[in-house]
Amino acid sequence: MLALISAFGLVLAVELPDKTLVATLVLTTRFRAWPVFAGVTAAFAVQCAIAATFGSVLTLLPETLVTAIVATLFGIGAYMLLREGFSPGKDGGEDASRSGPSPATFFRSALTSFGVLFAAEWGDASQLATASLTARFGNPFAVALGAFVALVAVAGIAVFIGAKVRSRIRPKLIQRVAGFVFAGFSLFALAQLAF
C-alpha cells in the first residue's frame, strides 16, 4: 500500500505542472473529450508498464548498485524538473489555436492522443519516478497502479476542468517543489550508500 500511495502522490505532484496536462488540454480543444481521455489513458498504461518493468529489472541487481541507480534516476528527474521550473517563460500552458473540437472520428482522436502522450512520456520525470519507486519498493504492480491512477487523474483534470485549473495552478512553482523533492530522494538514496 505504501508503494501505491507513494507512486500516486509523487507522480501526481510531478505531472500537474508538466507537459502531460498541457498536451491533454490542447488535445481536448481539438478533439472531443472522451477519445482524448481514452487515448491518453492507454498511453499511460503502456508507459507505466514499461517503467515498472525497467524498475523490476533493477531489483535483480545488487542492492548497492540499485541504490546508486535509484539515486541517479531521482537526480536526473530533479534536474529536469528544476531546469523547467526555473526556466524563463510564462507560468502557464499554451493556448490552442482552434476554438472548438474537430469532428474527427473517435478512433482517430484516440490514436492521435495516444501517440502524442506516449511520445511525451518517454524519459519524463513520472517515468523515472515509476522505475525508481519500483526498484525501491520491489512491488511493480502497486507502483505502476499508483503512477497510472495519478496520470489518469491529471488527464481527467485536463479534460474536464482544464481551463480553470490552468488559471489557478502555478506550474513553475509546483515543478520547483517536485524538483526539490526528487533531489531529496536522490540525496536520501546516496546517504544509504554511505551507511
Q: For 78-110, what is each residue's pLDDT tens digit?
A: 887 788 778 887 654 444 334 444 467 899 889
Cβ contacts of residue 164 below 8 Å, gap of 6+?
A: none
d(CA 43, CA 134): 19
DSSP assigned state of 2: H
CA dihedral 94, 144, 111, 107 (to 10 degrees): -120
pLDDT tens for 35-81 read 889 999 999 999 999 999 988 887 787 878 877 887 887 788 788 77
Query: Helix 2-15 to helix 171-194 angle, to the nearest 10 degrees?
Result: 140
pTM comes to 0.68
pLDDT on residue 145: 95
HSE value, Cβ hemisphere, 13 Å, CA-based, for 3: 18
Share of the chain above pLDDT 90, in %: 19
